[in-house]
């Protein structure tokens, strides 16, 4: 009788362990998905920041040219 009770307890423990292993495996798969998503986000964010730097650099250059041309125009108007 005691052996039967011990066997039932061990069976219950094994089932609990199997469920825990399955749950951990599923969580690990989800973590892999999360890592993939985060890596994609980081890559796209870097592309956005790079594009932003290029556009800002171009705008700064255009702004400097416009400022210089405005100064030339002002000088031309003053000299007349």
**What band does 5 get if pLDDT is binned at 50, 70 and 90?**
confident
How many whole angstroms separate alpha carbon 65 and alpha carbon 74?
14
List, for residues 50-78, the tens digit of each pLDDT value. Answer: 999 999 999 999 999 999 999 999 999 98
How many whole angstroms separate alpha carbon 47 and alpha carbon 53?
10
pLDDT for position 2: 77
Q: Is the pTM of this model over 0.85?
A: no
- Does pLDDT of 13 surpass 80? yes
């Amino acid at each position: 009788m005691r052996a039967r009770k011990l066997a039932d307890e061990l069976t219950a423990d094994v089932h609990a362990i199997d469920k825990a292993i399955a749950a951990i495996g599923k969580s690990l798969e989800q973590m892999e998905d999360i890592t993939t998503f985060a890596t994609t986000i980081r890559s796209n964010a870097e592309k956005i920041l790079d594009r932003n730097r290029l556009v800002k650099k171009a705008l700064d250059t255009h702004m400097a040219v416009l400022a210089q041309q405005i100064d030339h125009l002002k000088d031309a108007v003053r000299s007349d």
